[in-house]
């Protein structure tokens, strides 16, 4: 392994502390969870009464539930009494210029091709006047407002658009849905709210906006996106840059609602801190994501690139309720070192002539374990429905594992379900063929891996697809060959 690779490896795997670990000033708020804490949290956020009720109800549901254990992962359960459920906005200490940032970090940024100004934001450097995030923020906001799109934090939406939030919050993922969703519903900190009115095509990829403005999402994030009849939106969460967070548990909830002919595309790039070589530390990423195709001819598409976190448990799902609705799931999950990922999707076909496609690519290296867990369910009334699933796994090295657990069921005779899965390694012949043509081994492997995941990455918004490829290279550097 070259010096450079070593430096990078340690960087990606471990040393996020430069520029990230900051003396965060918390307001005086007690640890632990109780009714009083939730009341306090709600009142500090200045929430209306109905919101507090929602939280308290969820809290009761949570108390009655048991922490699930069916995942193909082992980890120390989080101590819920020792968590801090409310933190005031954090103050990052500003560095004067990028020169103060750790050179290793800068190198990664360069490798990932992150624009200079964004590098500054990520590293916590004070942004200069030319690149004023506030002005960009304002111009975005104006553009969106012109189209009638509402895009704001969920806390703001609770105050400004209570009728919308009240109607849809918890409608796709009820508080009782699962243990972590219940916890999130009780204590969620903040998140995004997005409403696209009838026959409106969101004038920009919300990704661009998101990338600059949503750096501090908190550990219990809540997202709600509603696309009215004929509306369409593309949304991207996360960032290719390595993210460090001192909160170990992340239990986000994302709800999508698509009406007649509406289309929602939700993309995720997740690169949380994944723990050190021995699997110490690292984020638990226990996310509940679900969309409902409520209207006829609606479409929801999930695309995800999961490379970080020590433990990832995540199953973005689509309920295909409207006739002729479409659900899609494209996923690349990469695990290295001691990471554990148990991820996949659910496609629940209820309406007539509904279609779903699942393409999942898992790459395991190091001592990691990577599982695909999915469910395709075709109900009695979902006549003429079709599903097509492919889940391929690639193993790199002899100490990792790849697993597939697809649940498939059909209850009517006019639908069809096709599922295929393969597990294999990077072929020696393939590497040989490329090397023969003068390509180095490392590059050959990276080409093969890029080819392996191409079907999924092409679903990402363009600028992210490029970064995603680079992220994969950096992530797997040194683990192949």
Contact present, 192 and 150 (Cβ < 8 Å): no
Contact present, 308 and 241 (Cβ < 8 Å): no
Question: Of the candidates 66, 99, 129, 398, which one interacts with other proteins according to CB under 8 A?
Answer: 398
Tell me: does residue 442 bind other proteins (CB under 8 A): no
Residue pointed to by tokens 């969820």: 58
| Helices 179-187/35-44 angle, 10° precision | 50
Q: CB under 8 Å to 94, separation ≥6 — which residues?
A: 124, 125, 126
Question: Of the candidates 26, 137, 407, 433, which one interacts with other proteins according to CB under 8 A?
Answer: 407
Tell me: does residue 410 bind other proteins (CB under 8 A): yes
> CB-hemisphere CA count at 13 Å for 228?
12
| Residues within window 278-297 making contact with other proteins, judged by CB under 8 A | none
> CB-hemisphere CA count at 13 Å for 457?
20
Minimum CB separation from other proteins for residue 203, in Å? 42
Q: Which is nearer to other proteins, 39 or 380 (CB)?
A: 380
Tell me: does residue 399 bind other proteins (CB under 8 A): yes
Print the SS3 string covering 1-35: CCHHHHHHHHHHHCCCCCCCCCCCCCCCCCCCCCH
Tell me: does residue 408 bind other proteins (CB under 8 A): yes
**C-alpha–C-alpha distance, residues 173 and 208, integer Å:** 27
Q: CB under 8 Å to 373, separation ≥6 — which residues?
A: 72, 315, 342, 343, 344, 405, 406
Q: Which is nearer to other proteins, 233 or 444 (CB)?
A: 444
Question: Of the candidates 78, 148, 162, 401, which one interacts with other proteins according to CB under 8 A?
Answer: 401
Q: Which is nearer to other proteins, 135 or 409 (CB)?
A: 409
Binding string to other proteins for residues 365 to 394, with x set by CB under 8 A, is what?
-------------x-x------------x-
Contact present, 301 and 459 (Cβ < 8 Å): yes
Question: Of the candidates 172, 396, 449, 453, which one interacts with other proteins according to CB under 8 A?
Answer: 396
**C-alpha–C-alpha distance, residues 432 and 226, integer Å:** 50
Q: Which is nearer to other proteins, 140 or 372 (CB)?
A: 372
Question: Of the candidates 26, 75, 137, 405, which one interacts with other proteins according to CB under 8 A?
Answer: 405
Tell me: does residue 423 bind other proteins (CB under 8 A): yes
Beta-strand relationship, 299-306 and 416-424? unpaired
Minimum CB separation from other proteins for residue 248, in Å? 28
Q: Which is nearer to other proteins, 247 or 357 (CB)?
A: 357
Minimum CB separation from other proteins for residue 66, in Å? 13
**C-alpha–C-alpha distance, residues 357 and 369, integer Å:** 24
b (16+ CB within 10 A) / e for 19-39: bbeeeeeeeeeeeebeeebbe
Tell me: does residue 65 bind other proteins (CB under 8 A): no
Question: Of the candidates 3, 49, 70, 437, which one interacts with other proteins according to CB under 8 A?
Answer: 70
Minimum CB separation from other proteins for residue 374, in Å? 10
**C-alpha–C-alpha distance, residues 138 and 151, integer Å:** 12
**C-alpha–C-alpha distance, residues 98 and 19, integer Å:** 10
Tell me: does residue 357 bind other proteins (CB under 8 A): no
Beta-strand relationship, 416-424 and 249-250? unpaired
Tell me: does residue 420 bind other proteins (CB under 8 A): yes
Tell me: does residue 114 bind other proteins (CB under 8 A): no
Q: Which is nearer to other proteins, 335 or 393 (CB)?
A: 393
DSSP structure string for 343-369: E--EEEE-STT-EEEEEEEEEE-TT-E
Q: Which is nearer to other proteins, 29 or 388 (CB)?
A: 388
Tell me: does residue 331 bind other proteins (CB under 8 A): no
| Residues within window 238-277 making contact with other proteins, judged by CB under 8 A | none
Tell me: does residue 404 bind other proteins (CB under 8 A): yes
Return the range that interacts with other proteins (CB under 8 A); candidates 263-271, 416-424, 442-450, 459-467. 416-424
Tell me: does residue 334 bind other proteins (CB under 8 A): no
Q: Which is nearer to other proteins, 200 or 410 (CB)?
A: 410
Question: Of the candidates 91, 94, 97, 424, which one interacts with other proteins according to CB under 8 A?
Answer: 424
Q: Rule CB under 8 A: which residues touch other proteins?
A: 70, 378, 380, 393, 395-425
């Amino acid at each position: 392994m070259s010096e450079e690779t070593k430096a990078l490896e340690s960087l990606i795997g471990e040393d996020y502390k430069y520029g990230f670990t900051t003396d965060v000033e918390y307001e005086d708020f007690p640890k632990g969870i109780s009714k009083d804490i939730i009341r306090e949290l709600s009142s500090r956020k200045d929430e209306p009464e109905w919101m507090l009720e929602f939280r308290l109800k969820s809290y009761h549901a949570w108390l009655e539930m048991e922490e699930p254990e069916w995942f193909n992962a082992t980890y120390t359960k989080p101590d819920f009494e020792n968590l801090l459920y409310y933190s005031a906005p954090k103050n990052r200490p500003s560095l004067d210029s990028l020169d103060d940032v750790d050179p290793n970090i800068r190198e990664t940024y360069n490798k990932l091709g992150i624009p200079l100004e964004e590098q500054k934001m990520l590293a916590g450097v004070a942004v200069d006047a030319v690149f004023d995030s506030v002005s960009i923020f304002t111009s975005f906001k104006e553009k969106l407002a012109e189209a009638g799109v509402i895009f704001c934090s969920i806390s703001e939406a609770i105050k400004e658009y209570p009728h919308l939030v009240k109607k849809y919050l918890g409608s796709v993922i009820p508080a009782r849905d699962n243990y972590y969703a219940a916890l999130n519903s009780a204590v969620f900190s903040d998140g995004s709210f997005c409403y696209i009115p009838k026959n409106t095509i969101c004038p920009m990829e919300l990704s661009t906006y998101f990338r600059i403005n949503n750096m501090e999402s908190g550990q219990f994030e809540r997202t709600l996106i509603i696309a009215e009849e004929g509306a369409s939106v593309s949304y991207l969460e996360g960032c290719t840059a390595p993210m460090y967070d001192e909160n170990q548990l992340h239990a986000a909830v994302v709800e999508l609602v698509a009406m007649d002919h509406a289309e929602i595309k939700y993309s995720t790039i997740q690169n949380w801190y994944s723990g050190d070589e021995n699997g110490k530390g690292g984020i638990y990423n226990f996310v509940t994501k679900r969309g409902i195709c409520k209207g006829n001819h609606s479409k929801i598409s999930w695309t995800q690139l999961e490379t970080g976190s020590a433990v990832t448990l995540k199953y973005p799902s689509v309920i295909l309720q409207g006739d002729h609705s479409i659900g899609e799931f494209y996923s690349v999950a990469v695990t290295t070192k001691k990471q554990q990922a148990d991820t996949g999707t659910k496609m629940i076909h209820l309406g007539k002539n509904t279609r779903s496609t699942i393409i999942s690519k898992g790459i395991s290296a190091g001592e990691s374990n990577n599982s695909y867990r999915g469910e395709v369910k075709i109900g009695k009334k979902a006549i003429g429905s079709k599903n097509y699933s492919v889940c391929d796994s690639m193993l790199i090295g002899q100490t990792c594992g790849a697993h597939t657990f697809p649940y498939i069921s059909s209850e009517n005779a006019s639908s069809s379900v096709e599922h295929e899965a393969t597990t294999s390694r990077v072929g020696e012949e393939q590497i040989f063929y490329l090397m023969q043509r003068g390509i180095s081994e490392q590059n050959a492997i990276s080409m093969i891996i890029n080819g392996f995941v191409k079907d999924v990455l092409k679903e990402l918004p363009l600028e992210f697809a490029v970064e995603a490829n680079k992220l994969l290279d950096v992530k797997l550097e040194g683990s192949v060959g």
